[in-house]
């Protein structure tokens, strides 16, 4: 099914509910969300009629916006009944169809005779989110059946990448949910959080440079945590922007080599000089650049991340020689009083991981079958 431009579609919110999501009154959050997802406006006369209590997954919402005539029917959990959540009516007949929204146990044949195409969530959209590198079933949550906190948790989960490093994937989700909710309630913007993470990048660099390992590691982990929060805050509050994406990802891309250089300098400053120290730094820096270039080539040629090609690539993304796994290795050895060997271990791990990704790229180039993600089945 094609995705035509939907910016001429006008959304009509049906009903009112006096609750808040992510620190905003529900109708304000809904207006912001639908406009971010592609609606031309949110107005009382819109032809895209949606119950104000419904919160839809972004992929599902975008598909419905781009599908005139769609009528989304949701099976309500625990009630053994169905309810119409969305009716994308013809523009000239929107008023005639608005009363079909929120109808329980609808007559599908009557909807079809009225010129609509009723369907469940899975009839409109699949479960692969290319941007977030994961497979996740679409959702439609009603605030009559779920508390705002439950809906916020589901939205947060939906904003989380499926294929990422082990720290981001396993350690950060729960605390990041609460900090994201706090930031939203305080009306902090994602760019404010990103700026705080940039300050921590500089603080960690300073501490690493002078060999103050524990403060440097703590500042580094705080930065990586806020690096998780800013993106989730942007997606859950619908405040993401092109500049915010460049700002966030630009910092992510540029700062790791500076941290490695600072650690190298700090090791010399604290008397941990070693004949292999300079070669180790060279390996780490060259490996970082080569790894990023390898990922970029794969993305440019095949249109998706190398880490979601096959399950083995997704597994390697969790542990590969990138900032968070490297910082974890350095921290563990430092806690045992051996920061020098923590740095050396990063170099060894780089030598193992980067060739793996290069070989995977070469295997893709040599493959005689189409290259597609295992998640896009």
Model confidence pLDDT, tens digit, residues 179-228: 999 999 999 999 999 999 999 999 999 999 999 999 999 999 999 999 99
pLDDT at 131 (0 to 100): 67
In the structure, what pLDDT confidence band is assigned to residue 4 with cuts at 50, 70 and 90? very low
pLDDT at 126 over 70: yes
pLDDT at 1 (0 to 100): 37
pLDDT at 8 over 70: yes
Mean predicted confidence (pLDDT) in 237-249: 94
For 208-220, letters b (16+ CB in 10 Å) and e give bbebbbeebbbbb
Cβ atoms within 10 A of the Cβ of 153, count?
15
Cβ 177 vs Cβ 234: under 8 Å:
no
**Cβ neighbours of residue 290 under 8 Å, at least 6 residues apart?**
354, 358
pLDDT at 3 (0 to 100): 42
pLDDT at 5 (0 to 100): 43
In the structure, what pLDDT confidence band is assigned to residue 7 with cuts at 50, 70 and 90? low
Query: CA 243 → CA 6, 205, 234, 239, 282, distances in Å?
Result: 23, 25, 12, 11, 32
For 87, list phi and psi in degrees, rounded to 5: -130, 115
Element (H, E) at 121: helix 121-124
pLDDT at 377 (0 to 100): 61
pLDDT at 2 (0 to 100): 38
Residue-by-residue DSSP string for 236-299: HTT---HHHHHHHHHHHHHHHHHHHHHHHHHHHHTT---TTHHHHHHHHHHHHHHHHHHHHHHH
Give CA torsion, residues 233, 239, 242, 247, to 10 deg. -40
The Cα 102–Cα 73 span in angstroms is: 9
User: How many residues are recorded in the chain?
Assistant: 377
Task: Write down the pTM of the prediction.
Answer: 0.90
Per residue in 271-323, pLDDT tens?
Answer: 998 999 999 999 999 999 999 999 999 999 999 999 999 999 999 999 999 99
pLDDT at 128 (0 to 100): 73
Cβ 305 vs Cβ 299: under 8 Å:
yes
Per residue in 14-57, pLDDT tens?
Answer: 999 999 999 999 999 999 999 999 999 999 889 999 999 999 99
Cβ 237 vs Cβ 184: under 8 Å:
yes
Per residue in 130-162, pLDDT tens?
Answer: 666 677 789 999 999 999 999 999 999 988 888
pLDDT at 80 (0 to 100): 80
Query: CA 310 → CA 303, 353, 354, distances in Å?
Result: 15, 16, 17
Structure tokens at 111: 């909807």
Per residue in 54-67, pLDDT tens?
Answer: 999 999 999 999 99
pLDDT at 201 (0 to 100): 98
Per residue in 54-101, pLDDT tens?
Answer: 999 999 999 999 999 999 999 987 678 999 999 999 877 778 888 899
The residue whose two tokens read 């005139």 is 68
Mean predicted confidence (pLDDT) in 108-137: 85
Domain boundaries, the chain: 10-124, 159-376
Query: CA 317 → CA 33, 53, 343, distances in Å?
Result: 31, 38, 20
pLDDT at 232 over 60: yes
The Cα 183–Cα 189 span in angstroms is: 8
Q: Does domain 159-376 have CATH number 1.20.58.220?
A: no
Q: Which of 348, 343, 203, 190 is nearest to 267 (CA)?
A: 343
């Amino acid at each position: 099914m094609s995705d035509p431009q939907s910016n001429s579609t006008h959304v009509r919110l049906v009903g009112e509910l006096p609750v808040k999501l992510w620190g905003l009154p529900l109708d304000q959050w809904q207006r912001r969300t639908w406009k971010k997802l592609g609606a031309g406006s949110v107005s009382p006369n819109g032809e895209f009629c949606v119950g104000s209590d419904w919160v839809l997954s972004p992929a599902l919402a975008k598909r419905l916006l781009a599908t005139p005539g769609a009528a989304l029917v949701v099976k309500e959990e625990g009630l053994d009944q169905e309810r119409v959540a969305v009716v994308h009516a013809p523009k000239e007949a929107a008023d005639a169809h608005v009363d079909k929204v929120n109808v329980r146990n609808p007559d599908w044949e009557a909807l079809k005779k009225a010129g609509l195409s009723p369907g469940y969530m899975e009839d409109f959209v699949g479960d692969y989110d290319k941007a977030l590198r994961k497979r996740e079933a679409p959702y439609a949550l009603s605030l009559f059946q779920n508390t705002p906190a439950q809906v916020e948790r589901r939205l947060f989960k939906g904003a989380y990448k499926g294929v990422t490093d082990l720290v981001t994937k396993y350690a950060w989700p729960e605390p990041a949910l609460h900090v994201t909710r706090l930031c939203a309630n305080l009306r902090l913007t994602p760019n404010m959080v990103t700026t705080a993470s940039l300050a921590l990048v500089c603080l960690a660099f300073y501490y690493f440079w002078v060999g103050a390992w524990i403060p440097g590691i703590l500042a580094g982990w705080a930065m990586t945590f806020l690096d998780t929060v800013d993106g989730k805050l942007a997606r859950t509050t619908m405040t993401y922007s092109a500049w915010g994406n460049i700002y966030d990802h630009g910092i992510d891309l540029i700062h790791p080599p500076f941290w490695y250089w600072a650690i190298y300098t700090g090791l010399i400053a604290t008397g941990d000089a070693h004949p292999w120290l300079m070669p180790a730094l060279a390996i780490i820096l060259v490996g970082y650049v080569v790894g990023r270039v390898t990922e970029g080539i794969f993305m440019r040629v095949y249109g998706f991340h190398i880490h979601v090609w096959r399950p083995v690539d997704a597994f390697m993304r969790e542990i590969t020689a990138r900032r968070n796994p490297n910082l974890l290795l350095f921290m563990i050895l430092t806690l045992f009083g051996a920061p020098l060997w923590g740095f050396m271990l990063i170099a060894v791990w780089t030598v193992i991981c980067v060739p793996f990704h290069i070989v995977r790229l070469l295997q893709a180039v040599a493959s005689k079958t189409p290259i597609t993600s295992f998640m896009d089945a």
